[in-house]
A and B are shown apart, each in its own frame.
Chain A
Amino acid sequence: MNTVMVTGADRGVGAALCGIFLEHGWTVIAGQYMPDWKQLAGMQEDYPEQLNTVKLDVGSTESVKKAFEKTTQMTEKIDLLINCAGIISNADTAETISKMFQVNTLGTLRMVETFQPLLEKGQKKIASISSEAGSISLSHRKDHFGYCMSKAALNMTVKLLYNELKPKGYRFYLYHPGWVKSYMLGEKSTTGDYEPEETALAAFEQFTAENEDALILKDVQGHYWSF
């Protein structure tokens, strides 16, 4: 059975990804940041054999290490790692920018480096949820410095990982989920083009297909975005 690990799995796109992979028979290890949020508990009732949760704050090295230890007790391999955990802040203070770098950018690096022993034994697929906000060439915003910089730096992180790990058989997916009615600002947004389930379905199709022999930022509709 294939195994996927999803970070930021509590709600929004992360939870929707868990749901779709469960429906397709995958074993899902859900990185849980908000234990009080009940969406994953509901899924666990429907898929008690397939869904495992593990406490995970990708912004903390200690938490990622603990999650790795716990995950090794659940599975011998991870076929696909989906780095979905992300935060946004409308404020651009040194503190909020730092936090966004910790989670949005370094979260992926922590996860890949720490979980590599399990990834080595699987299909060696790594997917990261990026954003058009990280495209420097197409940047159009006049604010949200922290979010845009953290997503651009995420793209660079994935590029460096790609340079190192592609020769070892790894495949990488960079995904722009579109404008999602997400929980990024706390409450579920009432505006957006896509429900989390819609963009998660498109992501599932991309992440389970063979991809290009290149690192490309691809969106929910399959369109390519330049860096």
Chain B
Amino acid sequence: MNEKVLVVGAEWPLAWKTAKEFKEKGYQVYAAISNGDCRRMQEFISMDTNIEISELPMSDHKKLETCIAELKNRIGVLDYLIIQEDCGHEAIQAPAPNDYDKIENTLSHYVCGVKALIDGMVPIMRNSLTKRIALLSGEISSVNLTDATSGYEFHLSQTALHMMLHIYFNLLRPEGFTFRCACFPDNGRTGVSPCQYITCSFSYDERDPYCHSEENRIVMRDACFREIPW
């Protein structure tokens, strides 16, 4: 198994768990800390998991550009790009009135950082047979389902990321890229794991009409494979 996986946002438990599961299954795994938490990064390195740990600081676009370039050189051809960017999650109970500058800062730095990351990685995914981009998200990020009354920073950035993923789907699906959006809890006990969901193959036969293939639409699914409305 030589397929290469880059998991970004490894500081989040689900992303790290996913990175480890890929490693256990024999993939070559790269994991990146995206919030600049150097202590966490050292902690991961000291775990000796054979996962290559690096930094992709989403909030520092200049440094991010350099880090992306370095990582691209190290990886060569990338098969899976997996992103979890739960920015603002720590402020999910923030009371009104909101700190608009903080929300804007999160939106522009983290969301634009993810865009820069995808734009940067797509060229090294084009030579892969898999070419799969996945977002680790959550049900509370669904405009339809959320019953939240606070946590604008988190909810708005997640919604923006969903839209971004859909636009990349429109843009890159014709080139053979495939997409996953997983709404999984951190410690789910039922259903498939994010790794299983991200790697599984969906019905796809090029001879069939486009609407006959799951790969030709983009949806959010939970661990029990239920479709979650956006």
Q: Do A and B come from one complex?
A: yes
B160's contact among A102, A142, A143, A152, by CB below 8 Å, is which?
A152
The CB with the most chain B CB atoms within 10 A, among A101, A148, A164, is that of A101
Question: Does A30 lie at the interface of the complex (its beta carbon under 8 Å from any beta carbon of B)?
Answer: no
Per-residue contact bits, chain B 74-112, to A (CB 8 Å; 1 contact, 0 not): 000000000000000000000011101101100110011
Q: Mark A208-227, 1 if CB is under 8 A from B, else 0.
A: 00000000000000000011
Task: Given A141-B167, A226-B229, answer yes or no on A153-B104 (Cβ-Cβ < 8 Å).
Answer: no
B162 adjacent to chain A (CB < 8 Å): yes
CA of A94 to CA of B61, assembled, Å = 9
A165, closest chain B residue (CB)? B149
Interface assignment of A86: CB less than 8 Å from any CB of chain B: no
Query: How far does the Cβ of B3 sit from chain A's closest Cβ, in whole Å?
Result: 27
CA distance A106 to B104 in the complex (A): 8
A160 CA to B26 CA, complexed, in Å: 42
B181 to chain A minimum Cβ distance, whole angstroms, is 10
Check if A119 is an interface residue, CB within 8 A of chain B.
Answer: no
Closest to A101 in B: B107
Query: Complex formed: what's the CA distance from A156 to B148 in Å?
Result: 10
Q: Point out the residue from A98, A142, A152, A164 that lies within 8 Å of B159, measured CB to CB.
A: A152
Confirm or deny: A134 has a beta carbon within 8 angstroms of a beta carbon on chain B: yes
Cα separation A139 to B158 with both chains bound (whole Å): 16
**B180, chain A: closest CB distance, angstroms:** 15
Residue of A nearest to B172 (CB): A142
B47 at the interface (CB under 8 A from A): no
Residue interface bits B45-64, CB-to-A below 8 A is 1, else 0:
00000000000000001000
Partner of B96 from the list A61, A101, A113, A159 (CB cut-off 8 Å) is A113
For B149, give the chain A residue with the smallest CB separation: A164
Instruction: Say yes or no: B107 contacts A98, CB within 8 Å.
Output: yes
CB distance from A219 to the nearest CB of B (A): 17
| Contact call A142/B96, Cβ cutoff below 8 A | no
Question: In the bound complex, what is the Cα–Cα distance between A116 and B198 (angstroms)?
Answer: 44
B211 within 8 A of A: no
Within 8 A of B (CB), among A66-113: 92, 94, 97-98, 101-102, 105-106, 109-110, 113
Minimum C-beta distance from B198 to chain A (A): 20
Q: Is residue A189 within 8 Å, beta carbon to beta carbon, of the partner chain?
A: no
Residue in contact with B170 in the complex, picked from A134, A142, A155, A226, CB distance below 8 Å: A142
Q: List residues of chain A with CB within 8 A of the CB of B115.
A: 92, 97, 145
Residues 37-75 of A, flagged 1 when their CB comes within 8 A of B and 0 if not, give 000000000000000000000000100000000000000
Cβ-neighbour of B112 out of A94, A164, A227 (below 8 A) = A94
Asked if B167 and A148 make an inter-chain contact with CB atoms under 8 angstroms apart, the answer reads yes
User: When each residue 142-174 of chain A gets 1 if its CB lies under 8 Å from chain B and 0 otherwise, what string results?
Assistant: 111100111011011101100110000000000
Q: Counting CB contacts under 8 A, is A137 at the interface?
A: yes
**Inter-chain contact B107/A105, CB cutoff 8 Å:** yes
In contact, B111 and A97 (Cβ under 8 angstroms)? yes
Bound complex: CA A142 to CA B170 (Å): 6
Q: Among A61, A139, A143, A155, which residue has its beta carbon within 8 angstroms of that of B166? A: A139
**Which single residue of chain A is at the shortest CB-CB distance from B142?**
A227
CB-CB contacts below 8 Å: B135-180 with A: 143-144, 146-152, 155-160, 162-164, 166-167, 170-171
Complex CA–CA separation, A141 to B61 (angstroms): 25
**6 A–B contacts from the bound complex (CB under 8 Å):** A94-B61, A109-B100, A145-B167, A163-B148, A163-B149, A227-B144
Enumerate chain B interface residues (CB-CB to A < 8 A). 61, 96-98, 100-101, 103-104, 107-108, 111-112, 115-116, 143-144, 146-152, 155-160, 162-164, 166-167, 170-171, 229-230
Chain A interface (Cβ within 8 Å of chain B)? 61, 92, 94, 97-98, 101-102, 105-106, 109-110, 113-114, 134, 136-137, 139-145, 148-150, 152-153, 155-157, 159-160, 163-164, 226-227
A114-B97, A160-B152 known, 6 other contacts, Cβ within 8 Å: A134-B163, A140-B170, A141-B170, A145-B115, A145-B164, A160-B155
